[in-house]
Amino acid sequence: SDGNPVADCLFCRIVAKEIPAEVVRETDTTLAFRDIHPQAPTHVLVVPKAHYPNAAALAVGDPVQAAAVLAEAGEVAAQEKIAESGYRMIFNTGEGAGQTVFHAHVHVLGGKGSLHGAL
């Protein structure tokens, strides 16, 4: 993708505020919002506002924005007070790995008792 919005993309629609989400942070190029089905006490998704189908494609297409997504994941962790205890950043890439939304996103997962044993 060239980063242009994709009309039928769920996360493009959330970025465009056409679909509501619980936003926790926003910058010019990124949006962080709570996952609708949280898998941990803190479960936030950080997305680039521009459309790329997955994180690797984002890194190739716009490395500065890829770095901004990672930096925002760290800011979310600090804001959510999970930076100290530790947190996970997960990028599911491809259907076979469980990716269901094909707009680049990182899962930021943390909080009590939720992180050990999954991988």
Q: Looking at the annotation, which residues are catalytic? A: 105
Q: How far apart are CA 29 and CA 81, in angstroms?
A: 23
Helices (H), the chain: 10-15, 55-61, 63-79
Which residues contribute to the site for ligand 5GP (CB under 6 A)? 10, 21, 33-37, 45, 92, 98-101
Binding range to Zn ion, per CB under 5 A, among 26-34, 61-69, 88-96, 102-110? 102-110
Q: How far apart are CA 29 and CA 41, in angstroms?
A: 26
- Give me the torsion for CA of 37, 9, 16, 43, rounded to 10°: 20
- 54 vs 65, beta carbon nearer ligand 5GP: 54
* Rounded least distance, CB 118 to Zn ion, Å: 27
31 binds Zn ion (CB under 5 A): no
- 34 vs 84, beta carbon nearer ligand 5GP: 34
